[in-house]
Structure 1
Amino acid sequence: MNEVLTVLLESLRDGYVQVSAFVAVTVLAFGLIQYWTDGAVIGAIEDNERLQVAFGGLLGLTPGCGGAIVVMPLYVRGTVSFGTVVATLGATAGDSAFVILALAPEAALYSYAIAFAASVATGYLVDSYGLGVARIDAAVARLSPAATPDGGTVVNGGVGPNPAHDYGCPAPTHAHESGPDRESRVLTPLSHLAHVLWWIAAAAGLVLGSLYLFRGGPEIPLTTGLGFDGLFTIVGITGAVLSLYLYLVGRHYVGEGEIARARDSFLSVYDTLTHAAMETSFVTVWVLVAFLVYEYVVLFSGVNVATLAATAGVLAPIGGAAVGLIPGCGPQILLASVYAEGGLPFSALTANAIAQDGDALFPLLAVDAKAAIVATIYNFLPAVVVGVALHLLWGPVFGMAEFGFGVL
């Protein structure tokens, strides 16, 4: 029971400091840009149909998951193509990017450049040949006539808005326009207070998380106090608990009420902060679930990733791609840490970078699980091809099959 409780507390702490604080910064950055430009960024993505896939890849390439998270609701809204989703998710290295950028910048440069090129190419291929959800819907309809298709994403022979992509979901409403008692004498001020405290925890978590990465991602004991280890634990657990509150309760009294929806613009800086906090809290909940599932599997099964990779040979990049199928950043951060310790070849890191979707997959899973699964499969295939090619063809020539390539 002590081990189970320790894993729970460590997952709450690590999930917030190592992941959520960085997600908050990137989501907030895009939100502020939207506020300052009055929605021009999303408008530019929606209006430039032929460049959507490349834009999606660039947003996915930004460290963390904030850029990619911005794109997912646009697909749900029917204003970007399915190929854009595939390119965005494929180029996303999630929060594991922070680990590799800090500990192996040369490897990060090559790995993420390859992931970007492969993902954008895959995205354009998907759109050009009509391989979006519409084709999957047709196949499902043949197998199950009762299935309801949600429509494709390629119209008029090219990439464009999908008028049939209607989920029946209204536009996000302000917190005080729908939902439970918005004017509760207790929960409304409590939720605003939790929101303010959440941002204080996020700022502290960003500092602590950055120091943690610069220190090489050491093991942090579960302790309390005013030292680094104690603050790391206190801030992490506090931020995680506040995230759970905001997601489960607070969003009904502060902010939009709805999540995983793109905003064209924001009314004020506070509105922007609220949106970023609610979106990040939503991601945090899923990250914590992923952390706990993974850690408990490791705890009860005794699986050792580094040992398996060392004996895998050409199966290592396939394994890296397979790990990328797991939603969330937890397993990917672990894989990046193992790479930084010399436990994985570069081919496995690159395959993982292409296959993984980070936390950006969670908003899409919540509203369109079919599209999320199909996009993940589409990215897994080039991840395996590129990873194996790096290992067998280019790896021996450029040293990219070696363990520890580009590690400081």
Structure 2
Amino acid sequence: MLEVILELILDSAEAAFLEVGVFVGFVLLLFGYINYKKAGDFIGSIERSKKWQPVLGALLGLTPGCGGAIFVMPLFFKEAVTFGTVVATLVATMGDSAFVLIASHPTAYIVVSFLSFLVAIITGYIVDTTDIGSNILSKYKARKKSKEEVDKSHQDVDHALLHYECQRMSGCKTDFIEHIGHIEGDEIDLLLHHKLKGHQNHDTLGYKFTHNSFYLYWLLLSVALPFSIALLWQVDINELFIPNLGLVIGILGTIFSITMMLMSKKFLGDDTHEETELKIMSLKETIIHNAQDTAFVVTWVFVGFLAYELLVLAIGGGDYAVGENLIETTLLATGILSVFIGAAIGLIPGCGPQIIFVALFTRGLIPFAALFANAISQDGDALLPLIAIDRPSAVWATIITTIPALIFGLILYWFEINTALWALFH
């Protein structure tokens, strides 16, 4: 039995890195570069286009990862966007789990994105017809500190790290990190840059490791890319010129990823408002943080794959084939429950649990409707700055995004089991 479990661990490590992680890394790098070049301009467009804000928010939310969506959250408290725009952005956001879906099931990603976009727009405009946003804003204003209190607090906090970042990067227009969605010295700055965990101090082992080893990580991803492409063509990469070379690369990649994630001290969420701003200011920081983001995704995919394999083995009483048959039977019998489970998991802030849920979809354990419900319900890392700034608004946003997740998830489940959708994604 121990030999079987060890084999499952090694196979899961290989699959997490070669089947998913490598593609995630290069897709992340592409979108990271686009975000580096265009995110600031897009945020400006949202602020100027009052009538189309929920549509633009939904478009920004569709961008894989949470970088764009994170920037929208403070804008609501600056009265630059509506609460419906915040909700539309969160509904459309899939966070880092989007990269897993792009790498493994691009067709499912396209369908989820299209439907999420429509649901996001509808939900956003409905929210803006109510007084929810204005009530949240008025209560926030009643609780917030006076300008004198904020100025005093701002004088007392340590700014050395922010100064240091600007000295390291070219193009810094001010003495501090160039903020998006708020200004230096306001209450949001205190919450997002001094109370919410941002990037690491530069004298820590974690910072030194991640900022010096990212070259090796990208090199390993580049070496692994041909093997990952070969897997797409059903080539047995472990029977090529060097036996088990694919297995070795996959295991090394997953171990490197886990180490990178631990050194980054990121577990449920992998992106903060402050780090996202750094990525906008520096291409090097974008590349470094994209390596950390990839490692984060690979680690959680590995956990998801291994959890699935061990579950199959346990259900089958040590017989893997029996376990697979039992899981398939159970899935057909209780599939509708998975829609509620997907929406419930989406309530958890951060991207880690969501990545596991998508990884289970790639293994055929959950129906497409459950994946969609999770995609609508989850807010990724974008909810974290909202929690830091104003928890009641985060609670409202979470409740609101869960409602369409359940409604449309159940509708889609009915279509899935009664049409060709089931055959398309299974």
- If the length of structure 2 is used for normalisation, what is the TM-score? 0.61
Deviations 1:224-279 (A, max 9, x none): 9752222111112113312332448xxxxxxx998444358425x32432354456
Counterpart Cα distance in 1 of 2:5 and 2:396 = 34
Q: Could you tell me whether the CA contact under 8 Å between 1:336 and 1:349 is conserved in 2?
A: yes
Q: Secondary structure at the match of 1:262?
A: helix
- Equivalent residue for 2:411? 389
Q: Could you tell me whether the CA contact under 8 Å between 1:332 and 1:356 is conserved in 2?
A: no
Q: Could you tell me whether the CA contact under 8 Å between 2:88 and 2:124 is conserved in 1?
A: yes
Counterpart Cα distance in 2 of 1:297 and 1:369 = 37
- Does residue 287 of structure 2 align to residue 273 of structure 1? yes
- Does residue 273 of structure 2 align to residue 262 of structure 1? no
- Does residue 52 of structure 2 align to residue 55 of structure 1? no
Q: Could you tell me whether the CA contact under 8 Å between 2:342 and 2:374 is conserved in 1?
A: yes
Match of 1:195 among 214, 222, 232: 214
Counterpart Cα distance in 2 of 1:323 and 1:50 = 33
The alpha-carbon deviation at position 307 of structure 1 amounts to 4.5
The alpha-carbon deviation at position 349 of structure 1 amounts to 3.8
Q: Could you tell me whether the CA contact under 8 Å between 2:358 and 2:371 is conserved in 1?
A: no
- Does residue 250 of structure 2 align to residue 232 of structure 1? yes
The alpha-carbon deviation at position 19 of structure 1 amounts to 6.2
Q: Could you tell me whether the CA contact under 8 Å between 2:357 and 2:371 is conserved in 1?
A: no
Counterpart Cα distance in 2 of 1:242 and 1:107 = 29
Counterpart Cα distance in 1 of 2:385 and 2:10 = 25
The alpha-carbon deviation at position 39 of structure 1 amounts to 3.7
Q: Could you tell me whether the CA contact under 8 Å between 2:24 and 2:100 is conserved in 1?
A: no
Match of 2:259 among 241, 249, 252: 241
- Does residue 358 of structure 2 align to residue 333 of structure 1? yes
The alpha-carbon deviation at position 318 of structure 1 amounts to 3.1
Distance 1:37 1:301, change over 3 A: same
Match of 1:71 among 69, 72, 86: 69
- Equivalent residue for 1:348? 370
Q: Could you tell me whether the CA contact under 8 Å between 1:318 and 1:384 is conserved in 2?
A: yes
For 2:250, the aligned partner's letter is F
Counterpart Cα distance in 2 of 1:293 and 1:128 = 46
Q: Secondary structure at the match of 2:422?
A: coil
Q: Could you tell me whether the CA contact under 8 Å between 1:244 and 1:285 is conserved in 2?
A: no
Q: Could you tell me whether the CA contact under 8 Å between 2:70 and 2:273 is conserved in 1?
A: no
Counterpart Cα distance in 1 of 2:233 and 2:13 = 21
For 2:332, the aligned partner's letter is A
Q: Could you tell me whether the CA contact under 8 Å between 1:320 and 1:351 is conserved in 2?
A: yes
Distance 1:226 1:76, change over 3 A: farther
The alpha-carbon deviation at position 38 of structure 1 amounts to 9.0
- Equivalent residue for 1:156? none
Deviations 1:113-166 (A, max 9, x none): 22221122112323342434953995x99xxxxx9579xxxxxxxxxx799973
Q: How does 1:58-137 map to 2 (within 5 A)?
A: 58-62=59-63, 65-66=64-65, 68-76=66-74, 78=77, 80-94=81-95, 97=98, 108-132=109-133, 135=136
Q: Size of the alignment, in residue pairs?
A: 361
Taking only aligned residues, the RMSD between alpha carbons, in angstroms, comes to: 5.3
Q: Could you tell me whether the CA contact under 8 Å between 2:346 and 2:374 is conserved in 1?
A: yes
Q: Could you tell me whether the CA contact under 8 Å between 2:54 and 2:85 is conserved in 1?
A: yes
Distance 1:6 1:238, change over 3 A: farther
Counterpart Cα distance in 1 of 2:306 and 2:389 = 22
Select between 207-216 and 224-233 the one with higher mean Cα deviation: 207-216
Distance 1:274 1:178, change over 3 A: closer
Counterpart Cα distance in 1 of 2:187 and 2:83 = 11
Q: Secondary structure at the match of 1:40?
A: helix
Q: Secondary structure at the match of 2:54?
A: helix
Counterpart Cα distance in 2 of 1:356 and 1:122 = 15
- Equivalent residue for 1:378? 400
- If the length of structure 1 is used for normalisation, what is the TM-score? 0.64
The alpha-carbon deviation at position 168 of structure 1 amounts to 1.6
Q: Could you tell me whether the CA contact under 8 Å between 1:191 and 1:246 is conserved in 2?
A: yes
Distance 1:71 1:319, change over 3 A: closer
Q: Secondary structure at the match of 1:403?
A: helix
Distance 1:243 1:120, change over 3 A: same
Unaligned runs of 5+ in 1: 142-146, 151-160, 249-255
Deviations 1:327-346 (A, max 9, x none): 533332234224xx4x6544
Q: Secondary structure at the match of 2:190?
A: coil
The alpha-carbon deviation at position 288 of structure 1 amounts to 7.7
Distance 1:26 1:69, change over 3 A: farther
- Equivalent residue for 1:41? 42
Structure with a larger share of its residues in helix: 2
Distance 1:54 1:20, change over 3 A: farther
Q: Could you tell me whether the CA contact under 8 Å between 1:73 and 1:363 is conserved in 2?
A: no
Q: Could you tell me whether the CA contact under 8 Å between 2:62 and 2:113 is conserved in 1?
A: yes
Counterpart Cα distance in 1 of 2:298 and 2:392 = 21
The alpha-carbon deviation at position 57 of structure 1 amounts to 2.0
The alpha-carbon deviation at position 385 of structure 1 amounts to 0.9
Q: Secondary structure at the match of 2:331?
A: helix
Q: How does 1:150-161 map to 2 (within 5 A)?
A: none
Identity %: 28
Counterpart Cα distance in 1 of 2:302 and 2:120 = 27
Counterpart Cα distance in 1 of 2:109 and 2:331 = 19
Distance 1:208 1:71, change over 3 A: farther
Higher Cα Rg, which structure: 2
- Equivalent residue for 1:166? 188
Distance 1:264 1:242, change over 3 A: closer
Counterpart Cα distance in 2 of 1:290 and 1:80 = 38
